[in-house]
């Protein structure tokens, strides 16, 4: 996996979820969906959840599926 994909995977393991805004602000990752695809291709399962922020703007929050829960 790419170094950025590894950063995203570690973040998901530590914090549970991530949005594109968080990826850009914290890790300077500009295209989170590509990094998520890298993680999926490495064999991990990612859950995508559509959400709306308080202003009504839609976004996607990504979660790493817990193998114990599956």
pLDDT, one tens digit per residue, over 20-55 is: 999 999 999 999 999 999 999 999 999 999 999 999
Domain annotation covers residue 58:
yes
Give the position of tokens 């114990």: 68
| 31: in domain | yes
Domain span at 56:
3-64
Number of domains present in the structure of the chain: 1
Q: pTM value?
A: 0.86
Q: Is 70 domain-assigned?
A: no
Identify the H or E element spanning 20.
helix 20-27
Q: What is the CATH number of the domain that holds 13?
A: 1.10.10.10
Q: Tell me, what's the pLDDT at 67?
A: 64
Burial 14-47 (b: 16+ CB within 10 A, else e): eeeebbbebbeeebebeebeebbebbeeeebebe
Model confidence at 66, pLDDT cuts 50, 70, 90, reads confident
Q: How far apart are the first and last CA of the chain?
A: 24
Query: Is 35 contained in some domain?
Result: yes
* 19 assigned to some structural domain: yes
What mean pLDDT do residues 1-7 have?
95
| Distance from C-alpha of 24 to C-alpha of 12, rounded to nearest angstrom | 15
């Amino acid at each position: 996996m790419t170094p950025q994909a590894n950063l995203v995977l570690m973040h998901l393991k530590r914090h549970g979820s991530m949005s594109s805004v968080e990826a850009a602000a914290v890790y300077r990752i500009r295209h989170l969906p590509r990094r998520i695809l890298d993680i999926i291709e490495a064999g991990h399962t990612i859950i995508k959840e559509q959400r709306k922020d308080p202003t009504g703007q839609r976004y996607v929050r990504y979660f790493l599926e817990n193998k114990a829960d599956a």
